[in-house]
Amino acid sequence: MLGKWGWRLRRIGRQLWFRATIFSVLGVATALLAWAVKPYIPAGLATRIGADAVDNVLGIIASSMLAVTTFSLSIMVSAYGSATTNVTPRATSLLDEDTTTQNALATFIGSFLFSLVGIIALSTGAYGDQGRVVMFGVTLFVIALIVWTLLRWISHLSTLGRLGQTTDRVENAAVRALRDRQAHPNLGASPLPPADQWPAHAVACHAAEVGYVQHIDMPALAARVQAEQARIYVLAPPGTFVDPTRPLALAVGLSEEDLAAIPGAFTLGRRRSFEQDPRFGICVLSEIAQRALSAATNDPGTAIDLIGRSVRVLGTLAEPAEPSAADPACARLYVADPTIEELLEDFYAPIARDGAALLEVGIRLQKALASLARLDDARFGTAARHLAARALRHADAAMRLPEDRALLRAAAETAWQADAWRLS
């Protein structure tokens, strides 16, 4: 598991400003490279290859890249607004991390700075004839890079911010989080025992601020339980909303210094994140379906699509997985994993409520829950049957026509077959 600083560095690396800064520095360094390499260029080569034209080419790049960057930023902002309106605001954080968008904008900004520095250096005569040759060659490479980036950017614009593409991103993020949790059950620690088994003399460690737990530095916590009698019971896994009155963890056998360091292993933020929080991706998928079922949107087809996606996402838990080797130092840490009941409740309960009056949504919901039960009855069966029965009760209360209720009951019995009697 990543420590706090590794996790933060990875998040910084996904930010647009970071990649744009790297490309900008490379653009400036590339423009200055010609000055350093010019002593190794034969005299008179500039005249033979027409390197004098580099001034005009750099001027064209500078003016065009500034316009393209401004246009691309406006397109990106529009795409974010479209995702916020048509999908869910919680999905925009994934658009922020879109590498194709970041690479395009970073290339445009870097090319602009490259040309700008080149124009300044040429106007001061710093390059000389030999430096112009190097600058001419590098400029040709930059032009090829710009053309390739523009072609990819044009293709990417056709899907940026669209409902389907944004939903794909949320689905992929949810699957990654679930598979990561499969590979590291309980975040690499031991399962959290029931509350009645917690030590009565344990010391509670509280947060100093209000927010969501985004990340837990498990190596930092493991370093605090080196002593044989030391134990840490994590009560606020990633995704938990905490305040100074709610304990983050209970500790046993730790020194005052170790107790004071425990809250520092928890990274809190204003909103939830996808990485260590499998439930968040499931909740965001459910939000997309709920928005589609709202009276303002009235798009049951999207809700049906999301129900189908849920089987694919939650079905990853039924796939065989080989957990990573547990760190012995984490054996004295205790963390709870999300339960199957919580995951299914996060997605299906709101849809069963909001789509209760729609026959087509109710039928698809019954089929999805039955599919999960068939994939792994031991894991999904009980929770899926409970939610299916609850969805039928919602439908009974919301549907006006007895014929629709009868059709839904018949579809549920067909989907569940021998288990239909349990849905009454």
DSSP state of 357: T
pLDDT of residue 139: 84
**Do 232 and 342 share a domain, yes or no?**
no
**Do 347 and 259 share a domain, yes or no?**
no
- In the chain (424 residues long), the average pLDDT of successive 10-residue segments reads 75 82 82 66 51 76 89 86 85 85 90 86 70 78 92 87 89 94 90 90 92 93 88 94 94 91 93 91 95 90 95 91 71 92 95 95 95 92 94 94 93 79 51
What is the Cα–Cα distance from 341 to 82, expressed in whole angstroms? 33
What lies within 8 Å, CB to CB, of 12 at 6+ separation is 18
91 is a domain residue: yes
52 is a domain residue: yes
331 is a domain residue: no
What is the Cα–Cα distance from 256 to 165, expressed in whole angstroms? 50
**Do 24 and 117 share a domain, yes or no?**
yes
**Do 281 and 237 share a domain, yes or no?**
no
**Do 279 and 408 share a domain, yes or no?**
yes
CA angle (216, 219, 220) in 5-degree steps: 75
What is the Cα–Cα distance from 201 to 108, expressed in whole angstroms? 60
**Do 154 and 10 share a domain, yes or no?**
yes
Largest CA distance in the chain: 92
**Do 93 and 227 share a domain, yes or no?**
no
Residue type, 141: F
pLDDT of residue 128: 65
Tally of domains within the chain:
3
Last residue of a domain, one of 229, 251, 267: 267
What is the Cα–Cα distance from 358 to 404, expressed in whole angstroms? 9
Three-class SS of residue 91?
A: helix
53 is a domain residue: yes
**Do 137 and 32 share a domain, yes or no?**
yes
C-alpha dist (Å) from residue 14 to 103, 118, 165, 418: 11, 29, 19, 49
330 is a domain residue: no
**Do 58 and 206 share a domain, yes or no?**
no
Chain length of the chain: 424
180 is a domain residue: no
Q: Residue 250 belongs to a domain with what CATH number?
A: 3.90.1170.30
Residue type, 203: V
Q: The whole model's pTM is what?
A: 0.85
Residue type, 263: P
Which H, E and C letters describe 1-66, residue by residue? CCCHHHHHHHHHHCCHHHHHHHHHHHHHHHHHHHHHHHHHCCCCHHHHHCHHHHHHHHHHHHHHHH
**Do 64 and 96 share a domain, yes or no?**
yes
120 is a domain residue: yes
What is the Cα–Cα distance from 101 to 157, expressed in whole angstroms? 9
pLDDT of residue 401: 93
173 is a domain residue: no
What lies within 8 Å, CB to CB, of 323 at 6+ separation is 182, 183, 184, 185
Residue type, 250: L
Residue 153: domain span:
4-161
pLDDT of residue 50: 47
Q: Pairing between strand 247-252 and 203-206?
A: antiparallel
Last residue of a domain, one of 161, 194, 215: 161
319: phi then psi, degrees, rounded to nearest 5? -75, 145
Q: Pairing between strand 211-216 and 241-242?
A: antiparallel
What is the Cα–Cα distance from 396 to 108, expressed in whole angstroms? 57
What is the Cα–Cα distance from 359 to 416, expressed in whole angstroms? 17
Three-class SS of residue 418?
A: helix
**Do 292 and 239 share a domain, yes or no?**
no
**Do 225 and 97 share a domain, yes or no?**
no
Query: Is 217 in contact with 4 (CB distance < 8 Å)?
Result: yes
Last residue of a domain, one of 161, 194, 227: 161
